[in-house]
Chains A and B, each alone.
Chain A
C-alpha cells in the first residue's frame, strides 16, 4: 500500500496529537462559557423577584395624631402588613398637600417586606394570623404583586421593601466624573511625555518601573493613601464622591498611562519622521499626527480603566463610601456610596428580602459595565484611522 510518493505514516500520530490539542482548547472555552452563563443565569434568576413588590390597599387616616405617630394612620389589623417606611412619609405628604389633613383615603401602599417575601414564596417571619390575613386580603384583591417602582428611583433603606439603588447610581456617576476628569488628562499627558519627549535615561526608566509597579498594587492600599492624604491631610469631606473619585483616579492612572504608552508606541515612526522632515516641531507632530492615530487605543485603555474603577469597592470602603445613603447626593462633597459598595452592604443584611436586592444590584453593575464596553468598542471604531 505504501506505493504513492506522499505516503507518510509518521504524520498520523502528529495529526492525532493536533486533534487532541484542539479539543482541549475547545473544552476550556466551553468551560469558561459555562461558568459565565451559569453565573449570569443564577444572578438573573435571583434578581428577578426584585422586579416585583407587594402593594396593599388600605384606608389611610390623615390626622394630627397620625402625622405624629404614623402607625395610627391605618387600622390596627393592617398595621403590621404595611411598610413602616411608607408610613414614615406621611408627615411629608401632608406638608406637600395640606388638603389631605383630616381626610381618610383608600390608597395602594407599599406592603411590609415580610408580606412581600411571603407572597413570593420565600422565607418569611409572619405570624400565622398575619399570614391568614394576607391570604384573605389577596382573595379580596386588596393585596397584589406589581412592578417595583422603588428600586431604581429610591436610595438605600434599612427596610428591604423601600431600599433602592438610585443614590448608589448617582454616587457612582459623580465618583467616575471626578476619576476621569483627573486620571484621563494626567495619564495621557504622562504617557505623551514618557513616550514622545523624555530621553531614555536612568530617571525615565525609574519612573517607568514605578508606574508599572503601581498598576500591581492591591487596591485597598490606594484607599489607605486616600484616607491619610485626602481626608486627614487635606481635610476633604469623608465619604464624598470627591475623595472617592480622587482615590480611584490614583488607581486608574497607571492603567491609563500604560495603555496610552502602548497606543503611542504603536504609531509608526515614519509619521514622526515625515513631520520632522517638513520642519514641524515636536508639539505639532504629537498633537496633530501622533495623538489622533493613537486615540482609539488610548480611549480603549481609559474605558477599561474606568470599568475597573466602577467595580472597585475596597479603597472606597476605606474612605467611608460604604455609608448609609438614603438620599441621592447632590454634589461632589456630600456623603455618597457607589454601586459595588451598596451591593456589599446589602449582601451583609440579615433579611431574606435583601438577597434579591443584592442580585438586582449586581445586574445593574453588569449592565453599566456592558454599556461602557460597548461605548469603548464604538469609540475605537469611530476614531480608527483607515490606512
Chain B
C-alpha cells in the first residue's frame, strides 16, 4: 500500500513483502511499508498484531530468538539488511534502539554512554570520550540533571531520566535510525511529555520509528502512522490523514476505540 504523504518524502527504510515466522506461527504477513528520513513513523495496533515484531525486524533483533524465520526484504539506505553479506551486528550499530522498560546497564551514567562507542572504536578514553558523553546527554536533554553525578549508577535515576539515559546511549553510537518500542508506556505523563518533546527535537537528525499503544501519542508526534492488524498493515499514510479520514473500516473502528 503506497503512502500518500503530502511532502516529498525521502524513503530511508522500506519493507518489501516481509514475512516473519516464530516456528510455525506466521507473525508478519507480506508487510510493505516505507519509512521516510527525518520523520517519525508510528506503528499502532492491538496487542499481538506484530508491530513490535516488525520493529525488531528493522535491526535484526529477532535473529536472537531461536527458531524464527524471515522472508522478504528490509531495505535500509538501499541495502537489504537480510542479505548474506550483511553482519547483523553492523546493522545494530547503525540503528539504535530504545525499549519499553528503561534498561540502563548497572554501571555509572558515564559508563552507560561510553561503553559501546569505546568498543566500536569511535572514541578512545583519552580523546573524544568525555565530549561524546556530554553531547549525547545534551541531545537527550539530560546533561543539566546529571552533569554532577556522572559516576553514580545509572540505575539510581528516576524512570523518566533512565529512559532519557537510554536514548542518550542510543544516540552515542551515532545511528541513522532510532527504533523505539513503547518508550513511554512505563512512565508518568510528565516524563512522557518530556520524551515526546525530545523525539520531536531528535527527528531533525534521525529517522524515528516508534511502536505505541497510545493513539494520542501517535497523533501528537508522528508524521506517518501505520496500522497493524493480525500481522498485516491495513493502512499507512500521514498521521493526519489516517486519524481524520481512515480508509479502512477496521482502522476506523480501532482509532475510535471500538476495537482492540
- A279 near B99 (CB under 8 angstroms)? no
Q: Pick the contact of B61 from A270, A271, A273 — CB < 8 Å?
A: A273
Within 8 Å of chain B (Cβ to Cβ): is A64? no
Within 8 Å of chain A (Cβ to Cβ): is B22? no
**Chain B residues closer than 8 Å to A387, beta-carbon distance:** 106, 155
- B99 near A278 (CB under 8 angstroms)? no
Task: Identify the closest chain B residue to A274 (Cβ).
Answer: B103
- B66 near A199 (CB under 8 angstroms)? yes
**Chain B residues closer than 8 Å to A273, beta-carbon distance:** 61, 99, 103
Within 8 Å of chain B (Cβ to Cβ): is A293? yes
Cα distance A293–B116 in the bound complex, in angstroms:
18
Interface residues of B in 166-184 (CB under 8 A from A): 166, 169-170, 173
Cα distance A281–B93 in the bound complex, in angstroms:
10
Q: Tally chain B residues at the interface, Cβ within 8 Å.
A: 31
Within 8 Å of chain A (Cβ to Cβ): is B125? no
- B104 near A274 (CB under 8 angstroms)? yes
- A279 near B116 (CB under 8 angstroms)? yes
**Chain B residues closer than 8 Å to A288, beta-carbon distance:** 115
Within 8 Å of chain A (Cβ to Cβ): is B96? yes
**Chain A residues closer than 8 Å to B166, beta-carbon distance:** 274
- B116 near A278 (CB under 8 angstroms)? yes
Cα distance A200–B68 in the bound complex, in angstroms:
13
Given A199-B66, A276-B64, A277-B97, A386–B103 Cβ distance below 8 Å? Answer: no
Interface residues of A in 259-290 (CB under 8 A from B): 268, 270-271, 273-281, 284, 288-289
Interface residues of A in 43-93 (CB under 8 A from B): none
Interface residues of A in 336-351 (CB under 8 A from B): none
Cα distance A293–B104 in the bound complex, in angstroms:
13
Interface residues of A in 181-222 (CB under 8 A from B): 199-200
- B155 near A278 (CB under 8 angstroms)? no
- A274 near B105 (CB under 8 angstroms)? yes
Cα distance A270–B166 in the bound complex, in angstroms:
12
Shortest C-beta distance, A290 to chain B (Å), equals 10
Within 8 Å of chain B (Cβ to Cβ): is A27? no
Q: Pick the contact of A277 from B59, B106, B119, B120 — CB < 8 Å?
A: B59
**Chain A residues closer than 8 Å to B91, beta-carbon distance:** 279
Interface residues of B in 80-107 (CB under 8 A from A): 89-94, 96-99, 101, 103-107
Shortest C-beta distance, A335 to chain B (Å), equals 48
Within 8 Å of chain B (Cβ to Cβ): is A36? no
Shortest C-beta distance, B165 to chain A (Å), equals 11
Shortest C-beta distance, B189 to chain A (Å), equals 23
- B155 near A386 (CB under 8 angstroms)? yes
Within 8 Å of chain B (Cβ to Cβ): is A132? no
Task: Identify the closest chain A residue to B112 (Cβ).
Answer: A274
Q: Pick the contact of B103 from A270, A280, A281 — CB < 8 Å?
A: A270
Within 8 Å of chain A (Cβ to Cβ): is B153? yes
- A278 near B106 (CB under 8 angstroms)? no
**Chain A residues closer than 8 Å to B98, beta-carbon distance:** 277
Task: Identify the closest chain B residue to A267 (Cβ).
Answer: B106
**Chain A residues closer than 8 Å to B173, beta-carbon distance:** 278-279
Within 8 Å of chain B (Cβ to Cβ): is A385? yes
- A277 near B101 (CB under 8 angstroms)? no
Cα distance A276–B62 in the bound complex, in angstroms:
11
- B103 near A276 (CB under 8 angstroms)? no
Interface residues of A in 289-304 (CB under 8 A from B): 289, 292-293
Given A277-B61, A277-B170, A271–B106 Cβ distance below 8 Å? Answer: yes
Task: Identify the closest chain B residue to A272 (Cβ).
Answer: B64
- A281 near B89 (CB under 8 angstroms)? yes
Q: Pick the contact of A278 from B64, B66, B92 — CB < 8 Å?
A: B92
- A279 near B115 (CB under 8 angstroms)? no
Cα distance A54–B169 in the bound complex, in angstroms:
73
- A277 near B105 (CB under 8 angstroms)? no
**Chain B residues closer than 8 Å to A385, beta-carbon distance:** 106, 153
Cα distance A273–B156 in the bound complex, in angstroms:
20
- B153 near A279 (CB under 8 angstroms)? no
Shortest C-beta distance, A46 to chain B (Å), equals 49
**Chain A residues closer than 8 Å to B116, beta-carbon distance:** 278-280
Cα distance A275–B173 in the bound complex, in angstroms:
12
**Chain A residues closer than 8 Å to B106, beta-carbon distance:** 271, 289, 292-293, 385-387
**Chain B residues closer than 8 Å to A200, beta-carbon distance:** 66
- A279 near B92 (CB under 8 angstroms)? yes
Q: Pick the contact of B96 from A271, A277, A293 — CB < 8 Å?
A: A277
Cα distance A292–B105 in the bound complex, in angstroms:
11
Cα distance A108–B170 in the bound complex, in angstroms:
79
- A274 near B119 (CB under 8 angstroms)? no
Q: Pick the contact of B99 from A274, A281, A284, A386 — CB < 8 Å?
A: A274
**Chain A residues closer than 8 Å to B156, beta-carbon distance:** 386
Shortest C-beta distance, A195 to chain B (Å), equals 14
Cα distance A162–B166 in the bound complex, in angstroms:
68
Shortest C-beta distance, B66 to chain A (Å), equals 6
Task: Identify the closest chain B residue to A284 (Cβ).
Answer: B119
Shortest C-beta distance, B136 to chain A (Å), equals 12
Cα distance A276–B116 in the bound complex, in angstroms:
10
Shortest C-beta distance, A294 to chain B (Å), equals 11
Shortest C-beta distance, A317 to chain B (Å), equals 46
Task: Identify the closest chain A residue to B102 (Cβ).
Answer: A270
**Chain B residues closer than 8 Å to A271, beta-carbon distance:** 103, 105-106
From B59, B92, B105, B153, residue with most partner A Cβ within 10 Å: B105
A selection of 11 A-B contacts at a CB cut-off of 8 Å is A270-B103, A271-B105, A274-B103, A277-B96, A278-B97, A278-B169, A279-B90, A281-B89, A288-B115, A293-B106, A386-B156
Top 7 closest A-B pairs, CB basis? A279-B93, A277-B97, A270-B103, A279-B92, A278-B116, A385-B106, A274-B103
List 13 additional A-B contacts (Cβ < 8 Å) besides A199-B66, A278-B170, A280-B116. Answer: A270-B101, A273-B61, A274-B99, A276-B64, A277-B59, A277-B97, A277-B99, A278-B93, A278-B96, A278-B173, A279-B92, A280-B115, A387-B155
